[in-house]
Amino acid sequence: MLGRETAIQRVEWSADGWPRIAGGIPAEQVAAPALPPHPVPAPPERDDFDGDALGPQWSTLRRPAGPDWLDLSARPSHLRIRGGQSPRGLRSPSLVARRAGSVHCSLETSVDFRPTDVRQLAGVTAYYDTRNWHFAYISRDDRGRRILAVLTSDDGERVPAASLLLPDGGPVGLRVELDGSYCRFGHRTADGAWHDAGPALNATILSDEYAGEKQPTDGRDASPAFTGAFLGLWVQDIGAEGVYADFDHAVYRDH
């Protein structure tokens, strides 16, 4: 689920300016170069969204992190995400995510979201690509009740995994966790306790091997998969009604 792996090889610069592997054949083992340590500071676990821009640990999907859909100033110490396309949309999704740095990791947040109908969703996701993800989201059901639901997409086939009623109004604590081959969602109740938001889901669908091994049935060519999984904040406004969600903080941990 961690995407590309890094390899080091000794290279030589040829006369025409191209780097080439020494001897022309990659080595299976390479002696470590004698270089001084150069540690890179780890990104902070907790982001309270107090800055003027998102930190470099965050990624967005298919569009830049611009003021047309992201706002760090409208509500102090919150990230406001305006809803984007549905999961099938390939142009303007509203996803802000961090790469999974371990097969055992989690992301938790508190989201203030007040949907008015079933086409408005906001929550947390374990995301690989458009066809492979898990999503726990706040929305409304057909009877107008506020709910927390879990939806999974396995190679494009979307299957509801859980649904429970929420009180109207107020922020909701949400958590997504990768635990080896399992993905779990949780929610925090008013007493501060965390509870499961549904069953353990198959996290292996978020891997390079799974996403890249199937030939598409819609005429597209098979494409290599190497991006790795993300944990993130996802808001959908399928009816394009201008809804948004305010995220108070985000805490990412490798376990």
In a domain, 233, yes or no: yes
The amino acid at residue 131 is R
CATH number of residue 133's parent domain:
2.60.120.200
Structural contact between residues 104 and 206, judged by C-beta atoms closer than 8 angstroms? no
Please report the pLDDT score of residue 208 as a whole number.
86
Residue 233 CB burial class (10 angstroms; 0-12, 13-18, ≥19): buried
In a domain, 38, yes or no: no
Domain range enclosing 79: 46-254
In a domain, 50, yes or no: yes
In a domain, 26, yes or no: no
Q: Considering just the CA atoms, what is the radius of gyration of the chain in Å?
A: 21
Structural contact between residues 118 and 142, judged by C-beta atoms closer than 8 angstroms? yes
In a domain, 215, yes or no: yes
Number of domains making up the chain: 1
Beta bridge partners of 162: 150
Residue 93 CB burial class (10 angstroms; 0-12, 13-18, ≥19): buried
Q: Could you give the CA distance from residue 9 to residue 242 in angstroms, rounded to a whole number?
A: 50
Compute CA 57 distance to the chain's CA centroid, rounded to the nearest angstrom.
12
Tell me which H or E stretch contains 210.
helix 208-212
In a domain, 8, yes or no: no
In a domain, 16, yes or no: no
Model pTM above 0.75: yes
In a domain, 14, yes or no: no
Per-residue pLDDT tens listing for the chain (255 residues): 887 767 788 888 999 999 998 788 888 888 888 889 888 888 899 999 999 999 999 999 999 999 999 999 999 999 999 999 998 888 899 999 999 999 999 999 999 999 999 999 999 999 999 999 999 999 999 999 999 999 999 999 999 999 999 988 889 999 999 999 999 999 998 788 999 999 999 999 999 888 876 555 566 566 567 778 999 999 999 999 999 999 999 999 999
Structural contact between residues 175 and 185, judged by C-beta atoms closer than 8 angstroms? yes
